[in-house]
Amino acid sequence: MTTQMEFARRGVLTEEVKTIAAAEGVPPEFVMRGVAEGRIVVTRNLVRREMKPLGIGEGLRVKVNANIGTSKDICDPDRELEKAKAAMESGADTLMDLSTGGDLDAIRRRILKEVPIALGTVPIYQVAIEAQEKHGAIVNMTEDDIFNVIERHMKDGVDFITVHCGITRESVRRVIERKRLLGVVSRGGTFLTAWILKNEKENPLYSNFEYLLELAKDYDVVLSLGDGLRPGCISDATDSPQIQELLIIGELVERARKAGVQTMVEGPGHVPLDQIEANVKLEKSICAGAPFYVLGPLVTDVAPGYDHIVGAIGGAVAAMAGADYLCYVTPTEHIALPDLEDVREGVIVAKIAAHAADLTRRRESSLSWDYSISKARADLNWEEQIRLAINPEKVRKIRELRYPKKIEEVCTMCGEFCAIKLLKEYTRAEH
């Protein structure tokens, strides 16, 4: 037995499961059962034993991921490490290193070494870049290239990897025929689509899925089944290529479970607000409760510069409907590589969405935060309000710049007409 899923199925309460249960405030048996049935994943590579394991899935706190990584245009590994640390400090539960510029192995290894939270990657990016360097074009990547890079990432300690196994010759044909407004917007999905079109062969991640499972099993790496055909705009949302891919992914989840390999499923994308719940319920049904990791969803296309907010609206609704894990979106999505401040804002806003959904579960651990800050508000206790705020620094700054002139216990919005202060005085006078 090597994977958490295998241990859980035999009824072994691992240290990992116990740690997760304690962190979540739920019984260890609950976590174990979830892991056994594939409704909860433990994201920790076997070679990364020093890191605290994280649970993602049904009945647990909604998690938040932050993407960082260099691009060809903006390539500063130190800066990306700073972003990774800032994301963790702002409350990101996991990171994904999506670097496409510079020494990719070195960047990934540095992050694994210096940032002690679960790390995911999309190995196909590196495969494509190396193919371009070695073989002159992305579409010249070989099957061996693909699996070699995947194994390299696993050996390094990557805790989960996105693999676009649901893109097949058949689904590529359908998406091309359908003439979507925005075709394929997933980078990894596009690399594989291009490869399939050029080579007229099946996607190796699909045709050699069993080999992928063997590798994943050796390191207990979670396979995050990527939605390469996710919609890239509102008018492509919840269309047949997207759902076709989901059906294939559902079959792969089943195969992975048979092999004792942990999986989660990635979801859209651009989705109108009233289709989000259906998307979540569909994933949970087709993929038999596998943890759902959503990218947004973005509920409108018209707000570049505000896509962190657009994604928070969608993410909150998705998580309320049962999504388990939100990939943050930054303010610069669709425009540019995020900078340090964009990463911070992206994480905090995604955490707001996750927490808003957690509140709907009415667990004491979620409710008590809101209760405490509101108690501080009722007491006009500013230091405590600031301390408990999701970003204390921001609150302190706003308050200091616009500090009340006369009465310290109120703020400059209502001043002496503060409802809380007035009611206190009048009810005190009454009793």
Which of residues 106, 247, 273, 278 is near a copy of itself by CB under 8 A?
Answer: 273
Q: Which two tokens stand for residue 61?
A: 């706190």
Tokens of residue 429, six digits:
């006078």
Q: Interface residues for a copy of itself in 53-72 (CB under 8 A)?
A: 71-72
CB of 258 to a copy of itself, least distance (A): 32
Q: Is 373 in the site for a copy of itself (CB under 8 A)?
A: yes
Phi, psi of 163 (to 5 degrees): -130, 125
Give residues 161-190 in contact with a copy of itself (rule: CB under 8 A).
Answer: 176, 181-187, 189-190
C-beta closer to a copy of itself: residue 12 or 137:
137
Stretch that binds a copy of itself, among 88-96, 103-111, 247-255, 312-320 (CB under 8 A): 312-320
Q: Does 303 bind a copy of itself (CB under 8 A)?
A: yes
Measure the CA–CA gap between 272 and 389, rounded to whole angstroms. Answer: 30
Least Å distance between CB 319 and a copy of itself? 9
In the list 26, 96, 287, 299, the residue contacting a copy of itself (rule: CB under 8 A) is 299
User: Which are the contacts of 380, defined by CB distance < 8 A and separation ≥ 6?
Assistant: 409, 410, 418, 420, 421
Binders of a copy of itself among residues 212 to 241 (CB under 8 A) are 232-235
Least spacing, CB of residue 3 vs a copy of itself, in Å: 32
Asked whether the CA dihedral 334, 298, 34, 32 is positive or negative, the reply is: positive
**Cβ proximity to a copy of itself, 1 vs 335, nearer residue:** 335
Q: Does 209 bind a copy of itself (CB under 8 A)?
A: no
Stretch that binds a copy of itself, among 7-15, 76-84, 212-220, 335-343 (CB under 8 A): 335-343
Q: Mutual orientation of helices 123-135 and 187-199 as an angle, nearest 10°?
A: 50
Q: Cis ω on the peptide bond leading into residue 268 (within 30° of 0)?
A: no
Q: How far is the CB of 67 from a copy of itself (least distance, A)?
A: 10
